[in-house]
Amino acid sequence: MAAPLELDAQSVAFLVEASRLSGQEIRQLYAEFKAAQPTGRTSDFLNMVAQRHSSLETVRKKAQQFFELFDSNKDRSISREEVLAIMHAVFQTARDRGVQLTKTPEEVCEEFFRRLDTDKNCEISHEEFVDGCLLQPDLLRILQTPEVMNTLGR
């Protein structure tokens, strides 16, 4: 049986509670879902949103954990010095493991800031870091390499 053209208030309330989406965003997603899958069931939509939300929440939590590790002085921002100190340690760990490196810690630090310091104030805020990881999933994959994880003691 196909889903109705609009979500009922209970389903919208459930999804708003379970996600960081507004009621309007939920309704818009549902309209897009119905346009793409006219015979799709409401349960299919609920599962789709739950899966997306779950994976986004996982990425968000991991990004927050990495932010805390990089923010060594706990001032809620990451400086070049903090990134560079970690990069030097990561590069030493990698060299100790026999990994061939093509960039310097300074180059990686510059790239890190180029990608994450969106307001160009020479510091990466918590929001910039988490949003950057959500928008650029390769950053989180890089942060989870064995060299980085071992260096950070994770």
CA 73/CA 152 separation, integer angstroms: 15
Q: What is the mean pLDDT of residues 56-75?
A: 89
Q: How far is CA 24 from the centre of its chain?
A: 23
pLDDT digits 0-9 by tens, 19-31: 778 889 888 988 8
Domain 59-153 part of CATH 3.40.50.720:
no
% of the chain with per-residue pLDDT over 90: 36
What tokens were used for 99? 């990994």
What letter does residue 100 receive in the DSSP assignment? -
Q: Is the pTM of this model over 0.85?
A: no
Does position 79 have pLDDT exceeding 90, yes or no?
Answer: yes
Domain ranges of the chain: 10-58, 59-153
Does position 42 have pLDDT exceeding 90, yes or no?
Answer: no
Which residues lie closer than 8 Å to 16 by C-beta, 6 or more apart?
Answer: 22, 23, 26
